[in-house]
Structure 1
Amino acid sequence: MEQKRRVFSGIQPSGNLHLGNYLGAINNWVRMQEEYDNYFCIVDLHALTVPQEPEELSRKVREVAAVYLASGLDPERCVIFRQSRVSEHAELSWLLNCVARYGELSRMTQFKDKAQKGGAEVASAGLFDYPVLMAADILLYNAHAVPVGEDQRQHLELTRTIARRFNHDYGETFVVPEPMILTTGARVMSLDEPKEKMSKSSPRPGSYISILDEPDKVRKKIRRAKTDSGSEIIATEDKPAIANLLGVYAGMTGEKIPEVERRYEGKGYGDFKKDLGEVVAEGLAPIRERTLELLDDPAELDRLLDAGAEKAREVAHPNLLRTWERMGLG
């Protein structure tokens, strides 16, 4: 029997999970449950790169787990776990720190952007170093493919570089992972500023649609979403706002963008946004309701995450031991 290719991905438990997380990641993960051997993580160690309120972080971990399950991820068909409960992630990260190069990390554009906003002098060492932890997350499971957005492609290239360097210096150890760049819905932009990616940590509630927003709030946010000049409902470079909304419509319905464009030919933005509000509100409503039900039983969520961590450790620990041996620590 042919062994399935392995996929690893994860989301930070910070901010509010939003429509972009669902269309760009979670919904696609649900679809690939049968085709791949999947490991879906809640990357709480990554969340610590910026200050977190401890109780809020614990609450958000459960919330992300509940959204995973409510969206259709099945613990019988994939491994769902909390990163910090598999200590091999942190340990492999240190070993790979001794393989990664300072110059490589200093060129990471995400660190430059975040440090520029908050000041490089006060940015944590973890924020600078977290691409190495990301590499450890992936290489620990010998993942063949990693579903990533364009904003994480540079970090995945660093992971590939680290894997190749380790294999060259210490002998064949890690699978060199390939990016799995998704198309429709892969990059949902802000509703009020379509040149910015929709963000979990945005201080502007009108810029994103939270998975836990009530249906009426979803409709209102879509109604108020920014549009472009003109009136044609087409996805072109000079219409970034409408192109974004068309991508959302296509992502929620499974249609192709040209199909949606044809349906609204000759119609105005008002009609389109009204229909889109219904599509998004109705699509997210059952996920929201199921998430809230699951959050009513935090002990069961913790049990499921602990069970997932045990399964993850069965793969992670032997791979860590092999890394020890290759580096002379065995």
Structure 2
Amino acid sequence: MPVTRVLTGITTTGTLHLGNYVGAVRPCIDASRRADVDSFFFMADYHALIKCDEPARIEASRLQIAATWIAAGLDTDRATFYRQSDIPEIPELTWLLTCVIGKGQMNRAHAYKAATDANAAAGEDADAGITMGLYCYPILMAADILMFNAHVVPVGKDQVQHIEMARDVAQRFNHLYGAAINREFFVLPEAQIDAEMELLPGLDGRKMSKSYDNVIPLFEGGEKALREAIARIVTDSRLPGEPKEPEGTALIQIFDAFATPEERAAFRAELRAGLAWGEAKQRLFEQINRQIAPMRARYDALMAEPEKIEAILQAGAAKARAIARPLLDELRHAVGLRRFQALAAPVDAGVKAKVQLPVFKQYREADNRFYFKLSAHDGRVLLQSQGFDGGRDAGAWVKRLKTEGAAALDGAPVALGDGVAAAEVAQALAALIAAEQ
């Protein structure tokens, strides 16, 4: 059975709320129990330094978030659970990738552009208050993903560009340092956008978010905080006994996230029959609390014994480093950071021989489909693929063409470039194969 490696990071700048649990924690833990999924969960505490300069807040958040994931049922023997800062190979890989990615591409990163646009709107210098941490954030994220060759990364829509950047830098590194030895160091990750991550409403009906001050706490504050938050959910002015339309209300959407289909139907029927909003909120509290109370008890116990969490994370770091260290050693060797030995041939520092080879390029178009093309060294398109539903499908065809050459063209989902003869394509593929031998 093929296994898909899925990687999820959580920035450690606060505590998790009910929306985080429904949208990210619960589905990720459920997926981690599948036999065909190899799950990596990490606390992105280096990323936290980009947006938070309060050491006590970061320290507390790391502990609280780790306790939350464990209390919620994460099997840390099965999944790999670690702190980003416990893996020194990640910042080292970040530097290797920094030396490959183009500054122009970094200039187009959404987070950086949003910051410069805000400065411009305020009449300030474009880079006022922008740190290199914010600027280089996508490279660190790429290193998080590529260090463990994750196939799938669940993200919100605002993070899709960063996955595309990780794919691009992986391709560049593979081509630059792996083509000559027929080695692809990195797999090309794919973004998995989960609509549920953005659907759970807050107290006011908008997306549940601390920035809107409309969240329902998960564990913090215990039953009292949960009950008080639910009591503040905005409802209409219909009185007890009056029929109420449940569809579209924040209360019913939150209830649905913790109920079976039968419970959902019964709750709707009671509301339409005149159930008071106050009683409905009490039902919602009971529905949620029944499920999270056992987890909250585990959370409180873990928070009282942080050394147990520390031991779990140290074990997770050792497990992660057993994968990261050998790959980084290989990458260091590939870029020339090797142990000294006699050189195979004299090196002329002033001249670098460079064979002008054709290049495969994979990319995603606006239609959200994946494509690849083969371009000559002068930029002419020799082959253009049709669209694929997944990047791995496109990558599989690229690999076939790079290993089988012209023999793979028969039946391949590609078209010749304008004015390009089949013989030229065959010659280009043969050159690629020869260069990798």
| C-alpha distance in 2 between matches for 1:254 and 1:158 | 40
1:215-254 to 2 correspondences below 5 Å:
215-227=223-235, 232-235=245-248, 242=249, 244-253=250-259
1:1-330 to 2 correspondences below 5 Å:
2-35=1-34, 36-113=37-114, 116=118, 120-171=127-178, 172-184=184-196, 187-192=199-204, 194=206, 196-199=207-210, 202=211, 204=213, 206-227=214-235, 232-235=245-248, 242=249, 244-253=250-259, 255=261, 263=269, 266=272, 270=277, 272-330=280-338
Counterpart residue type for residue 74 of structure 2: L
Structure 1: which 4+ aligned runs deviate by more than 6 Å?
none
| C-alpha distance in 1 between matches for 2:228 and 2:257 | 19
| C-alpha distance in 1 between matches for 2:285 and 2:158 | 27
* C-alpha contact (below 8 Å) 2:8/2:40 kept by paired residues: yes
More deviation, 141-150/181-190: 181-190
CA distance 1:256–1:30, change in 2 (3 Å): farther
Counterpart residue type for residue 232 of structure 1: E
Counterpart residue type for residue 209 of structure 1: P
Counterpart residue type for residue 289 of structure 1: A
TM-score normalised by structure 1 residue count: 0.84
* C-alpha contact (below 8 Å) 2:21/2:218 kept by paired residues: no
Indicate the structure whose relative CO is greater, using CA pairs within 8 Å and at least 6 residues apart.
1
Deviations, residues 112-160 of structure 1 (Å, cap 9, x unaligned)? 4466389851132112211111111011001111122223222222222
* C-alpha contact (below 8 Å) 1:39/1:80 kept by paired residues: yes
Counterpart residue type for residue 223 of structure 1: A
* C-alpha contact (below 8 Å) 1:139/1:174 kept by paired residues: yes
| C-alpha distance in 2 between matches for 1:275 and 1:326 | 61
Deviations, residues 95-128 of structure 1 (Å, cap 9, x unaligned)? 1122223333333334444663898511321122
CA distance 1:272–1:160, change in 2 (3 Å): farther
Deviation of 1:272 (Å)? 4.3
Unmatched 5+ residue regions in structure 2?
A: 179-183, 239-243, 339-437
SS at match of 1:8: strand
**As a proportion of its length, which structure holds more strand?**
2
Q: Identity, % of aligned pairs?
A: 35
CA distance 1:177–1:229, change in 2 (3 Å): farther
Counterpart residue type for residue 54 of structure 2: E
| C-alpha distance in 1 between matches for 2:199 and 2:158 | 9
Counterpart residue type for residue 88 of structure 2: S
Counterpart residue type for residue 94 of structure 1: W
More deviation, 44-53/81-90: 44-53
SS at match of 1:138: helix
Counterpart residue type for residue 69 of structure 1: I
Deviation of 1:43 (Å)? 1.0
TM-score normalised by structure 2 residue count: 0.65
* C-alpha contact (below 8 Å) 2:156/2:193 kept by paired residues: yes
Deviation of 1:302 (Å)? 1.1
Deviation of 1:27 (Å)? 0.8
| C-alpha distance in 1 between matches for 2:254 and 2:48 | 27
| C-alpha distance in 2 between matches for 1:264 and 1:114 | 49
Unmatched 5+ residue regions in structure 1?
A: 236-241
Deviations, residues 15-54 of structure 1 (Å, cap 9, x unaligned)? 1211122111111122122321111101111110023322
| C-alpha distance in 2 between matches for 1:175 and 1:280 | 40
* C-alpha contact (below 8 Å) 1:105/1:129 kept by paired residues: yes
Deviation of 1:274 (Å)? 3.8
Deviation of 1:223 (Å)? 2.5
2:347 is matched with none
Counterpart residue type for residue 277 of structure 1: F
Deviations, residues 203-240 of structure 1 (Å, cap 9, x unaligned)? 83x444343232232222222123579953224xxxxx
| C-alpha distance in 1 between matches for 2:263 and 2:157 | 20
In the comparison of the two structures, how many residue pairs are matched?
318
CA distance 1:312–1:228, change in 2 (3 Å): farther
* C-alpha contact (below 8 Å) 2:256/2:264 kept by paired residues: no
More deviation, 256-265/43-52: 256-265
| C-alpha distance in 1 between matches for 2:107 and 2:218 | 33
| C-alpha distance in 2 between matches for 1:249 and 1:37 | 31
* C-alpha contact (below 8 Å) 1:70/1:290 kept by paired residues: yes
CA distance 1:156–1:229, change in 2 (3 Å): farther
Deviation of 1:9 (Å)? 0.7
